[in-house]
Amino acid sequence: MSKRFWLVVAIVSIVGLLAVGAIAAQGVTGTQAPGTWVSSINIQNTGTSDATVLLTFYDSSGAEALAYTVDPPIAANGSRSLYVPAEIPGLADGQYSVIASSDQPLQIVANSSSSTPATAGAYTGLQSDEVGKALYFPGLYNNYYGFYSEMVLQNIESQDATVTLAFYDQATGAPVKEITGVNIPATSSRVFALADLAGVPSGNATGLLSAKVTSDRDLAAVANIWSSAMYGEYGDYNAYVVGATAVVYAPALYNNYYGFVSALTIQNIDSINADIKVTYSNGVTETKTLLPNQAFQYYQPNNAALPSGNSAGVFSAKVESLNSAQIVVLVNVEDKNKGLLASYNGPSSASTSVNVPVVLKSFYNWFSAQTVQNVGSASTDITITYADGHSKAFTGVPANGTVNIIELDSAGSVLPDGSSISAVITSSGEPIVAVVQENSEVMYGATPGDYLLAYTGIAQ
């Protein structure tokens, strides 16, 4: 098998644990996010023939817990969703890291949801160019207006990793805490909740942070975010590795749009200052200089120049490093009225074809919305083609414009009810990027909670 993907955490009916003091400084083996969690692994075969896929689960000690071959193989351009508790026989309850191997190129999205509180999150499986010895986290929170964060780090090598955690104040860029000599055993994962790490600042004034993680072994990582606001909120995103990234996009931003607001966080991951320019789709711009490792959060409702409300409060953005310093972008989306939260990685790779591994329509009461941003210089036609052969086209999407493909009958979805399927979004000429949001208004009506998830489409 030639292709490998890392899922930093797949959770099967596990309740968050508590950790304090010296134990926390070396990480713990269970998520600290409240709830009892389950997961699904959503796999898209982007190859030219059937894909034989092997999922290898590792427990907290790094020992192999189960090797599971997906059967039958996944057809070319097809997809498969595996609900971990029910469809992976022989896997005991617990928290696992996963390596997916295949003889065909794949794209993977991991969805997780909890009960008591009812929350959910999603992230894309990490590929070889998304793991490394230096990882960056633009947005981390330690009791920042009630928000908390944790970093989940997976050592993907066969030898123990020695790791350093360095935290930076977003307001000043100053380093505020460094933790050295952290050990992560071979092929295992460890969870580092900021609230459990002695000396990491907290509170509304100092609890808004960014981080850099360095290691002598390759790591894969995600960050989890949660709050006890409303009925409980949760989001997660992939950590970033160093890359030549001077332009990043944010397809979906909100300013009191049907209750939704957003925050766009930019981190300078370079060794030089980064001169930042944010250009919104309505022409409004913002600029700032960021120190190395510093992040800065642009909260859209705080910008009086941005339109607000149900008709005008939705837009996209282009984020540039004017002096070519490397940057990364995180977007948090929140509905403060309902208590919904989701996070997504700002895409930096644009192309005329974008893969989305999981799209939902009336799938156990879930639906999805794919927001596609034309990041080119001219108008373009955009088509979404689903793995079952259905398709839908949108003509004349302007430069810097977006189209929102909502999988509801009322919004013109062409999918049959009960669909959980992959899709490819293509452009007739201009480069595009996409983000997918999943939601369940039906489940919210029955048991209020945070049913909002988001993940970033993958450029082909």
Amino acid at 22: A
pLDDT in tens, 39-51: 999 999 999 999 9
What pLDDT score does 383 carry? 98
Phi/psi at 259 (5° precision): 90, -10
Residue carrying the six token digits 């006890």: 228
What per-residue confidence (pLDDT) applies to 346?
97
Residue 390 has pLDDT above 60, yes or no: yes
pLDDT for the residue 245 = 85
pTM score of the predicted model: 0.94
Single-letter amino acid, residue 52 = T
In DSSP terms, 257 is beta-bridged to 260
Amino acid identity of residue 271, one-letter, is S
Q: What percent of the chain is modeled with pLDDT above 90?
A: 82
CB 454 within 8 A of CB 435: yes
Q: How confident is the model at residue 20 (pLDDT cuts 50, 70, 90)?
A: very low
pLDDT score of 293 more than 80: yes
pLDDT computed for residue 6 by the predictor: 62
Residue 455 has pLDDT above 90, yes or no: yes
pLDDT, tens digit (0-9, with 9 covering 90-100), for 341-379: 999 999 999 999 999 999 999 999 999 999 999 999 999
Residue 129's pLDDT band (boundaries 50, 70, 90)?
Answer: confident
Question: What mean pLDDT is reported for the chain?
Answer: 92
Q: Which of 236, 373, 376 is nearest to 314 (CA)?
A: 373
Contact, 216 vs 157, CB < 8 A? no
Helix, strand counts (H, E) of the chain: 3, 34
Evaluate if residue 321 carries a pLDDT over 70.
yes
Q: What are the start-end ranges of the H helices in 106-166? A: none
* 162 in Cβ contact with 182 (< 8 Å): yes
Q: Given the structure tokens 């959503």, which residue do they identify?
A: 42
- Whether pLDDT at 112 is above 80: yes
Task: Give pLDDT, residue 23.
Answer: 43
pLDDT at 17: 31
Instruction: Pick the more confident residue, 58 or 261.
Output: 261
In the chain the domains, ranked by start, together with CATH numbers, are 3-241 (2.60.290.11), 247-345 (2.60.290.11), 353-459 (2.60.290.11)
Q: Quick one: average pLDDT of 426-441?
A: 98
Residue 95's SS3 state is strand
Q: What is the pLDDT of residues 203-257, one digit of tens each?
A: 999 999 999 999 999 999 999 999 999 999 999 999 998 776 899 999 999 999 9
pLDDT exceeds 50 at position 177: yes
Mean pLDDT, rounded, for 82-107: 88
**Within a 10 A sphere around the Cβ of 177, how many other Cβ atoms?**
17
Compute the average pLDDT of residues 321-346: 97
| Residue at 287: amino acid letter | T
User: Residue 60: its pLDDT value, please?
Assistant: 80
Alpha-carbon dihedral sign for residues 360, 362, 365, 370: positive
Mean pLDDT of 180-186: 94
Structure tokens at 125: 């499986």
pLDDT over 50 (residue 310): yes
Of the two residues 272 and 85, the one the predictor is more confident about is 272
Q: How much is the pLDDT for 429?
A: 97
Please report which confidence band the pLDDT of residue 7 belongs to, taking 50, 70 and 90 as the band edges: low
Dist. CA 418–CA 78, nearest whole Å: 16
pLDDT of residue 9: 53
Tell me how far apart the alpha carbons of residues 290 and 168 are, in angstroms, rounded to a whole number: 12
445: helix, strand or coil? helix
pLDDT at 385: 98
Residues with Cβ within 8 Å of residue 357, at least 6 apart in sequence: 42, 43, 44, 79, 107, 108, 109, 124, 422, 458
Q: Could you tell me where the beta strands, DSSP code E, fall in 362-452?
A: 367-374, 380-386, 391-397, 402-406, 419-427, 432-439
Q: What is the pLDDT of residue 3?
A: 61
